[in-house]
Structure 1
Amino acid sequence: MRKMLNTLYVMTPQSYLTKDGEDIVISVKQQETFRIPVINIEQIVMFSYMGASPGAMKLCCDHGVSLTFLSPNGRFISRCDGPVHGNVLLRKAQYKASEDESISHNLNKLFISGKIRNYQSIVSRFTRDYGMTDELQTAIKKLNEYKRLALQSDNDASLRGVEGEAASTYFGIFPSLIVQQNSDFPFHGRNRRPPKDAVNAMLSFAYTLICNDVVAALDTVGLDPYVGFFHTLRPGRPSLALDMMEELRAYLGDRFVLSLINRRQVSKNDFKAQGEEGIIMTDNCRRNFIKAWQSRKRDLITHPFLGDKIELGLLPYAQAMLLARYLRNDINDYPVFLIK
Structure 2
Amino acid sequence: MTQAAFCEDDTRCLPLARAIVRAKLRHQTNVLRRVGRRGLAETVTETCSALRDAVREAGAAADVQELMGVEGAASARYFACVSALLPEEMRFTARSRRPPLDLPNAALSYAYAILLGECVGALLAAGLEPSLGVLHSSTDKRPSLALDLMEEFRPLLVDRTVVALLRTGRLRVEHAVPSPDGEGVWLSRDGKKALVDGYEATMQRQVKGALPGFSGTWRRHLHHEAQLLGRAIVEPGYEWVGASWR
| C-alpha contact (below 8 Å) 2:58/2:67 kept by paired residues | yes
Structure 2 counterpart of 1:35: none
In the TM superposition, residue 131 of structure 1 has moved relative to its aligned partner by 6.1
Structure 2 counterpart of 1:197: 102
Structure 1 counterpart of 2:18: 109
Residue 225 of structure 1 pairs with residue 130 of structure 2: yes
Number of equivalenced pairs = 245
Structure 1 stretches of at least 4 aligned residues deviating more than 6 Å after TM superposition = none
Residue identity opposite 2:65 in structure 1:
A
Deviations 1:259-315 (A, max 9, x none): 111121121111111334511111122123222322322110114223322111222
Residue 311 of structure 1 pairs with residue 217 of structure 2: yes
Where structure 1 has 5 or more consecutive residues not aligned to the other structure, the ranges are: 1-91
Measured in 2, the distance between the counterparts of 1:328 and 1:317 equals: 17
Aligned-partner SS, 1:310: strand
Deviations 1:145-174 (A, max 9, x none): 011000111211211111111011111211
In the TM superposition, residue 122 of structure 1 has moved relative to its aligned partner by 1.0
What is the aligned counterpart of 2:188 among 282, 297, 301? 282
Residue correspondence of structure 1 range 46-65 to structure 2 within 5 A:
none
In the TM superposition, residue 332 of structure 1 has moved relative to its aligned partner by 2.0
Residue 187 of structure 1 pairs with residue 89 of structure 2: no
Residue correspondence of structure 1 range 159-308 to structure 2 within 5 A:
159-178=67-86, 182-274=87-179, 275-276=181-182, 278-308=184-214
**CA-based RMSD:** 1.8
Residue 123 of structure 1 pairs with residue 32 of structure 2: yes
In the TM superposition, residue 227 of structure 1 has moved relative to its aligned partner by 0.4
In the TM superposition, residue 183 of structure 1 has moved relative to its aligned partner by 2.9
Structure-1-length-normalised TM-score = 0.68
| C-alpha contact (below 8 Å) 1:231/1:243 kept by paired residues | yes
Structure 2 counterpart of 1:3: none
Residue identity opposite 1:160 in structure 2:
M
Residue identity opposite 1:262 in structure 2:
R
Structure 2 counterpart of 1:334: 240
Measured in 2, the distance between the counterparts of 1:132 and 1:287 equals: 31
Measured in 2, the distance between the counterparts of 1:331 and 1:202 equals: 39
Aligned-partner SS, 1:196: coil
What is the aligned counterpart of 1:157 among 57, 60, 65? 65
Structure 1 counterpart of 2:42: 134
Structure 1 counterpart of 2:226: 320
Greater share of helix = 2
Measured in 2, the distance between the counterparts of 1:273 and 1:205 equals: 15
Higher relative contact order (CA 8 A, sep 6+): 2
Residue identity opposite 1:251 in structure 2:
L
Measured in 1, the distance between the counterparts of 2:213 and 2:38 equals: 29
Which structure has the bigger radius of gyration? Answer: 1
Residue identity opposite 2:46 in structure 1:
T
Measured in 2, the distance between the counterparts of 1:336 and 1:249 equals: 13
Measured in 2, the distance between the counterparts of 1:255 and 1:97 equals: 33
| C-alpha contact (below 8 Å) 1:104/1:229 kept by paired residues | yes
Residue correspondence of structure 1 range 18-37 to structure 2 within 5 A:
none
| C-alpha contact (below 8 Å) 1:325/1:331 kept by paired residues | no
Aligned-partner SS, 2:46: helix
Residue identity opposite 1:121 in structure 2:
N
Deviations 1:61-86 (A, max 9, x none): xxxxxxxxxxxxxxxxxxxxxxxxxx
Residue identity opposite 2:88 in structure 1:
S
Structure-2-length-normalised TM-score = 0.93
